[in-house]
Amino acid sequence: MIFIKLCKVRKKLTKEAIAEATRLIERAKKEGVKFLNLYYTLGRYDIVVIYEAPDEKTAMRMAMRLGDIESTETLVAIPREEATKLVE
């Protein structure tokens, strides 16, 4: 499953905060999460992450661990080719 995570940083971005987030990202990778892209952005959200996870529970587990660092809105993404097959 592909997810798009829109993040607002809760903590000031310091080397320590980035190191903590990196540690949690590495843990998620070991649990089967594949990070496709990560962008720092201007505007309403600070970071946009596009990733693939085996299921919703794995995605939620990762989001809950990062909760002290960032608030998020997570979207489930379906590739266009699959979505257009749903149209009758």
pLDDT in tens, 29-58: 999 999 999 999 999 999 999 999 999 999
Q: Is 87 helix (H, G, I), strand (E, B) or coil?
A: coil
Average pLDDT over residues 5-17: 89
Instruction: Say what the pLDDT of residue 17 is.
Output: 85
Instruction: Say what the pLDDT of residue 44 is.
Output: 95
Instruction: Say what the pLDDT of residue 1 is.
Output: 93
Per-residue burial over 13-41, b if 16 or more Cβ lie within 10 Å, else e, is eeeebeeebeeebeebeeeebeeeeeeee
Instruction: Say what the pLDDT of residue 10 is.
Output: 87
pTM for the whole structure: 0.86
Instruction: Say what the pLDDT of residue 72 is.
Output: 92
Instruction: Say what the pLDDT of residue 68 is.
Output: 84
